[in-house]
Structure 1
Amino acid sequence: MTTLLNDERTPLFSAPGRQSRIARIEISHHQFELDPPFPAAWDSQPRRQFPATLVRVIDSEGREGIGSGDVMYGFDDFRHLFIGEDPLDLERHAGVIDNIGFHAGRCWPLEVALWDLAGKILESPVWRLMGGVSNRLRAYASSGTHRPLEEVVALAEQVRDAGIPALKLRFGRAHLEEDLAVLGAVRQAVGSRLELMVDCNQGWRMPWDVKTPWQYAHALEVARELEHQDVYWMEEPLYRGDYAGMARLAEETKLRIAGGEMTREPYEFREMLRQGCLDVYQPDAVCSVGMLGLARLAREIVAAGKAFTPHTWGNGIGVVANLHLTAGAVGPAGAPYLEYPFDPPEWTPEKRDFPLAAPLLADSDGWLTLSEAPGLGLTLDEDRLAATRATQATYQ
């Protein structure tokens, strides 16, 4: 069985006589109608359409790898750097994609498609190529709205009854007291049967949002309140570049401090690790560093006694890619939970995973389990993709 080489030799996979070439790369944009609109906690305008950018890499034998995630801005200027190359030279491709990110956009969905293609060429699931530690992780339900208190409690009870062991709530209402009241009501309703996380959403901003992130003193005040409710982690309590503040907060509180979902460079994560900024690292393979880079980084993080659990707020292709990466590289011991975006009725697995023929579902014990199917093991819903094709690449 082929596995990712722990000694990191390059190229990662060499198989004389089995080489093919990258024949073409296709990119398409899609918009799925959201009815009712999704009132994202981090956006002032309810989202009426859900975008997905799909990347397909086709080799000279007609095999196709798929990826999705960030919108691939600027990629057309660099497409020629991949055509005609060996699809299995993933070390080289990751390096080129990293360079593109310096000059243009974050094109990591292409690397996801290349891993899917590599798995199909090598007849192996990607989680095995990532190291084969495990084929499953437990989900945490990730909510994305600011609902009235009673509705959040009902969501928590639904998550608990479905067997999912943890739930993440969003702070950011007009007054902190409202956020704390919701958290307290949820804890009272579910007791110890759910782990609760809180996302403060201070680490990044929407393009129009220029308000100042929390300062350390306020973040510490909030952390003390979260400690009283036995919160599992406090996510993005400070600006993403406030390394000293995060390290101090991690030292001064009993909470796990989580973050890094939009941090872009491996050296930033290693500096955060050196300074003790975070207890839980959350880079998303379709937005930052990529699957190869994050497999290596995840091992470093876990070896340092920290947890690695990617952000996955996107469509099901990105969720599954991060599941393969994390389960295969570090398994449940390194990633106690994986983000599972879930906030019905606006955000259901079926809507979240609209490009796919079937959504990724957690089982009755909250596990997300991968098969032995080669690559990412996904089947696209081609009819739905044709019906949702669009020129718009962002939210509407």
Structure 2
Amino acid sequence: MKVANLTYEAVRIPHQRPIYPSWFPEKEEKDQCILLIGIHTDEGISGYASMEAPFGILPILVATMEYAKEFVIGEDPFAIEKIIWKLRNVARISTRPWVIENALLDVMGKACNQPVYKILGAMRDRVKLYASWAEKRPDEQRKEDAKRLVEQGFKAVKVRFCSATMKEDIAQVEAVRAAVGGQLEIMVDANQGTAVERQQKGFPELWSYERAKQTARELENLNCTWLEEPLYRYNFEGLAKLSSEVSIPIAGGEINRGIAEFKWLLEQHCFRIIQPNCTMSEGITQIRKIAAMAEAQGVTCNPHAWIPGIGLLQSLHLAASICNCDYLEYPYDPPALLPGSFQGILVNELTVEADGYLTLPAAPGFGYTLDEEKIHKYSILKG
């Protein structure tokens, strides 16, 4: 079997109402842009994977896929270790080719008539979800939002911080805790990992080390599960110091890349929870190596799963194949962020079960059915 072609199609699916993401407060997102990647073999088997294409980077991603074709076409789709080295060469002068590796795994699963997580070596067939909120909303609204999550079966929620003061940030968590008590675990994402020019309208100042530490102390008192990205992702010294000085687990790593970088993060004890993303940190098989390094140090690996389309399934199969994973992110913030737009290219939406888990599909590959009608309706380019 050989790879005969690599295709891509960008799909823009409207949100029910615009989203105002806390990590980019002045940005209005009217739709979800999904880049669907296809790997097609000479034996008629096709595998697919998808990724996010935010903030106008779609032309860069398309150029990456065009460049990657010459490295992938003609290769054995099972030769992932060989292909990943070629993709690293692609990444040297372009960006995020790792979704291709994930599509190769879908081909492998279909060729073997098995779900991907079983081919990788299943640890479990169900994964616990946490609802991952997107927006900053009034505290009273968040109380009602949290109550609805409990009614739907969720056992955990991730709150986003983006206020000018620590007092305002902490008030969000206090509101959620007051509304639902211990019925939800509460994670917090500070979204400080990316160095953005914070003088832009709408952005609060980047956190100082002292603000990160004080915030961590307050969240400890509120019995929060982790604090995510409280400092710039390459502030290794600061992250290591913070992790050693507070009891709440510090989490991060969603855009850190490659085995060598995560090895350094782990050796410096920057995080007690690492969160590699299988379209940004490298692909699924390489993240399993990172998870194994973390396992050896007693560090949890909870994959970052803010990946639209098939992306949640990609992350689900990854999470089910590693032993040191206890939660998977589920992007969900109604009435703005809903499965209908975020997972938009799938016929069957993935939704939380009554006990807060999601069961792995039994179908071969990632176990999806593409919504061809919806893809055709909202397609904006293909190649």
TM-score, normalised with respect to structure 2: 0.93
Partner of 1:247: 240
Residue 137 (1) aligns with residue 130 (2): no
Residue 38 (1) aligns with residue 19 (2): yes
Question: Per-residue deviation at 1:92?
Answer: 1.0
Question: Per-residue deviation at 1:236?
Answer: 0.2
Structure 1 residues 265 and 208 mapped into 2: Cα distance closer, same or farther (>3 Å)?
A: farther
Q: Is the 2:52–2:308 Cα contact (8 Å) retained in structure 1? A: no
Residue 181 (1) aligns with residue 163 (2): no
Q: Is the 1:160–1:194 Cα contact (8 Å) retained in structure 2? A: yes
Q: What CA distance in whole angstroms lies between the structure 2 residues aligned with 1:24 and 1:169?
A: 41
Q: Is the 2:11–2:34 Cα contact (8 Å) retained in structure 1? A: yes
Q: Is the 2:278–2:287 Cα contact (8 Å) retained in structure 1? A: yes
Q: What CA distance in whole angstroms lies between the structure 2 residues aligned with 1:98 and 1:329?
A: 23
Opposite residue 244 of structure 1, the aligned amino acid is E
Partner of 1:124: 114
Opposite residue 274 of structure 1, the aligned amino acid is E
Opposite residue 148 of structure 2, the aligned amino acid is Q
Question: Per-residue deviation at 1:36?
Answer: 0.9
Question: Per-residue deviation at 1:265?
Answer: 2.4
Q: Is the 1:63–1:120 Cα contact (8 Å) retained in structure 2? A: yes
Question: Per-residue deviation at 1:75?
Answer: 2.5
Opposite residue 319 of structure 1, the aligned amino acid is L
Q: Is the 1:201–1:236 Cα contact (8 Å) retained in structure 2? A: yes
Residue 308 (1) aligns with residue 296 (2): no
SS of aligned partner of 1:178: helix
Q: Is the 1:94–1:292 Cα contact (8 Å) retained in structure 2? A: no
Question: Per-residue deviation at 1:176?
Answer: 2.5
Opposite residue 257 of structure 1, the aligned amino acid is I
Question: Per-residue deviation at 1:371?
Answer: 2.4
Listed as ranges, the matches of 1:7-46 within 5 Å are: 20-43=1-24, 44-46=26-28
Q: What CA distance in whole angstroms lies between the structure 1 residues aligned with 2:4 and 2:360?
A: 29
Question: Per-residue deviation at 1:303?
Answer: 2.5
Residue 233 (1) aligns with residue 215 (2): no
What is the CA deviation profile of residues 284-303 of structure 1, one whole-angstrom value per residue up to 9, with x for unaligned ones? 10111211110111122122
Q: Is the 1:30–1:51 Cα contact (8 Å) retained in structure 2? A: yes
Partner of 1:57: 39
Structure 1 residues 24 and 207 mapped into 2: Cα distance closer, same or farther (>3 Å)?
A: farther
Instruction: Work out which of the residue numbers 93, 97, 100 in structure 1 matches 2:87.
Output: 97
Q: Is the 1:70–1:106 Cα contact (8 Å) retained in structure 2? A: no
Opposite residue 151 of structure 2, the aligned amino acid is D
Partner of 1:257: 250
Partner of 1:13: none
Instruction: Work out which of the residue numbers 370, 373, 377 in structure 2 matches 1:380.
Output: 370
Partner of 1:3: none
The answer for unaligned runs of 5 or more in structure 1 is: 1-19
Q: Is the 1:163–1:365 Cα contact (8 Å) retained in structure 2? A: yes
Question: Per-residue deviation at 1:132?
Answer: 1.4
Q: Is the 2:15–2:32 Cα contact (8 Å) retained in structure 1? A: yes
Partner of 2:57: none
SS of aligned partner of 2:183: coil
Q: Is the 1:70–1:108 Cα contact (8 Å) retained in structure 2? A: no
Q: Is the 2:153–2:354 Cα contact (8 Å) retained in structure 1? A: yes
Q: Is the 1:41–1:172 Cα contact (8 Å) retained in structure 2? A: yes
Query: Identity of paired residues, percent?
Result: 35
SS of aligned partner of 1:50: strand
Instruction: Work out which of the residue numbers 52, 59, 66 in structure 1 matches 2:48.
Output: 66
Opposite residue 149 of structure 2, the aligned amino acid is V
Listed as ranges, the matches of 1:74-85 within 5 Å are: 74-85=64-75
What is the CA deviation profile of residues 37-68 of structure 1, one whole-angstrom value per residue up to 9, with x for unaligned ones? 01111121221121000001111111110011
Listed as ranges, the matches of 1:1-12 within 5 Å are: none
What is the CA deviation profile of residues 66-119 of structure 1, one whole-angstrom value per residue up to 9, with x for unaligned ones? 011155342212312211211111111122112211121111111111100111
Instruction: Work out which of the residue numbers 361, 365, 377 in structure 2 matches 1:371.
Output: 361
Question: Per-residue deviation at 1:363?
Answer: 0.6
Q: Say which is worse superposed, 72-81 or 35-44, in terms of deviation.
A: 72-81
Q: What CA distance in whole angstroms lies between the structure 2 residues aligned with 1:50 and 1:316?
A: 9
Q: What CA distance in whole angstroms lies between the structure 1 residues aligned with 2:278 and 2:168?
A: 33
Partner of 2:56: none
The answer for unaligned runs of 5 or more in structure 2 is: 54-60
Residue 193 (1) aligns with residue 183 (2): yes
Partner of 1:296: 289
Structure 1 residues 369 and 257 mapped into 2: Cα distance closer, same or farther (>3 Å)?
A: same
SS of aligned partner of 1:151: helix
Q: What CA distance in whole angstroms lies between the structure 2 residues aligned with 1:218 and 1:208?
A: 16
Instruction: Work out which of the residue numbers 255, 261, 271 in structure 1 matches 2:264.
Output: 271
Q: What CA distance in whole angstroms lies between the structure 2 residues aligned with 1:299 and 1:327?
A: 14
Q: What CA distance in whole angstroms lies between the structure 1 residues aligned with 2:313 and 2:94?
A: 26
Partner of 2:104: 114
Q: Say which is worse superposed, 194-203 or 369-378, in terms of deviation.
A: 369-378
Question: Per-residue deviation at 1:208?
Answer: 8.3
Residue 324 (1) aligns with residue 317 (2): yes
Q: Is the 1:138–1:337 Cα contact (8 Å) retained in structure 2? A: yes
What is the CA deviation profile of residues 286-323 of structure 1, one whole-angstrom value per residue up to 9, with x for unaligned ones? 11121111011112212211110111112141111011
Opposite residue 103 of structure 2, the aligned amino acid is A
Q: What CA distance in whole angstroms lies between the structure 2 residues aligned with 1:328 and 1:265?
A: 19
Q: Say which is worse superposed, 171-180 or 22-31, in terms of deviation.
A: 171-180
Residue 169 (1) aligns with residue 155 (2): no
Structure 1 residues 259 and 274 mapped into 2: Cα distance closer, same or farther (>3 Å)?
A: same
Count of residue pairs brought into register by the alignment: 370
Residue 202 (1) aligns with residue 192 (2): yes
Structure 1 residues 29 and 206 mapped into 2: Cα distance closer, same or farther (>3 Å)?
A: farther
